[in-house]
Amino acid sequence: MKVLSFFLCFLMIFQTTVFAAGKSVTLKKDQKAPFPGTLLDAEAIAEILAKTKKLKDELKLKLSQQKEKLKIQHDMKYNLLKVDISALQKRSDEIIKLKNEELTRLQKHAFKRPGRHSHWFFAGGVILGVAVTIAITCIIVKATTDIASSSLDKALSGDLKVTLGSAPVK
């Protein structure tokens, strides 16, 4: 659309050049024309030139108005983008600031010496370790006792065969 309006403006501005491309001659009264064509008096020529100038001026005005309108639209879009960039930059700066504050806070807690309850954690670890060791020992003792008693029962009942070398002994 913009290209079409620009093209039409261009054609109207150079309209006089298009009309003047043919032959022209000034004639006096009762003088014969050297070629066939349309004869215009000075008033008609002046009117054509005035209309052409008027059209040229109108088109220049329309063109400058369109140019100004496009410039205003462009400036508005440019300013909106600048505001968007500024808002995004502020948001980014705030997020980075919050991230750095949180990182500093977490570093303070990570590098802080054990607190006043550290002896309870140590004691709890020792007690838990002793309890686990006792439980495992009881399980092992119970398992070996069950295995030994079942082997003893079998041996006493005569079902257990003990082999020495290659020959079974009863």
* Segment 128-149, tens digit of pLDDT: 999 999 999 999 998 888 887 7
Q: For residues 85-98, give the mean pLDDT.
A: 97
pTM: 0.40
Q: Which of 22, 65, 67 is nearest to 40 (CA)?
A: 22
Q: Which of the four pLDDT bands, split at 50, 70 and 90, describes residue 117?
A: confident
Mean pLDDT along residues 100-113: 86
In this prediction, residues 112-136 reach a mean pLDDT of 86
Tell me the domain boundaries of the chain.
Answer: 41-111
Question: Could you tell me the pLDDT band of residue 81, with boundaries at 50, 70 and 90?
Answer: very high
Q: What average pLDDT score do residues 4-28 get?
A: 60
The confidence score (pLDDT) of residue 34 equals 78
Confidence of residue 155 (pLDDT cuts 50, 70, 90): low
Amino acid at 52: T
Instruction: Tell the residue number behind the tokens 């109108």, with chain if given.
Output: 58
Confidence of residue 18 (pLDDT cuts 50, 70, 90): very low
Number of H helices, E strands in the chain: 4, 2
CA separation for the pair 2, 167 (Å, rounded): 113
Query: What pLDDT band is residue 93 in, cutting at 50, 70 and 90?
Result: very high
